Structure formats: C-alpha cells, structure tokens
Amino acid sequence: MRRYQLNSAPALIRTELSKHRPRMSKQMRRSVADVTAIQELLIRRLELLDPELIPDATWTTAEVLVRGIDPDDEDYVALALHLKCPLWTGDKKLIKGLQAKGFKQVLSTEQVRSMLREK
C-alpha cells in the first residue's frame, strides 16, 4: 500500500479554497488576486489525493462521523482517517461535533498555533 505524506489533501481543496477566497481576502486584508496567488503556492506543495484511493470502509466511517455536523467535511475526515493523522480545522462546530462522537484526531487552529510557538 502506498504511504502518503502528511501534506496530502483531498482533491476538492481547490474548490473549497476558491469558495472561501472573498472571506479570506477580507480577513487577510489582501486582494482576492493576492489570496488566489497564495493559495496556488500552497496547493503546489500539497499532494492532492484522489478520493477513489480511500477504502470504502473509511468512507463509511467518515460519513457516520460527519452526519449531523457537516457532510461537506466528509472528504477531510476520510483523509485524516486514511492517513491516521490529525485533521486541522478552524470550524468549531466540526471540532465539537467530531469530539462528541469520539473522533480525537482533530486540531483547532489555536492548537496548531500553540504547537508552532513551542518549537
């Protein structure tokens, strides 16, 4: 079985980032063109994973986990399960919902910032 690096992301990340560009532009106080350029730089550093490479059983588990929270996050949860790595998200509703269902491999942006400060 092929081992993926932790810089993997679901292939749908391009669509997801594009959808949030206006909000990110406002938060970053940058133009949409600047945000697009930054996103493209980051995406080039990622290995975009074809969803068909994730086993059906993993998809089933991810579907159950996001049910009642946000089904749009199923790809991210499935990838975290598949790679056995943490899911980093700023979505507090997702974090709380996943943790309530026993999914412990989720990190908030605040936790990631704290970890980076410790280095």
Instruction: For residue range 47-61, list pLDDT tens digits in order.
Output: 888 888 899 999 999
- Look up residue 98 and give its two tokens: 């996943």
Closest listed residue to residue 63, CA positions, set 14, 13, 101: 101
Instruction: For residue range 64-82, list pLDDT tens digits in order.
Output: 999 999 998 999 999 999 9
Question: Which letter does DSSP use for residue 54 in this model?
Answer: S
Q: Is there a contact between 26 and 20 (Cβ–Cβ < 8 Å)?
A: no
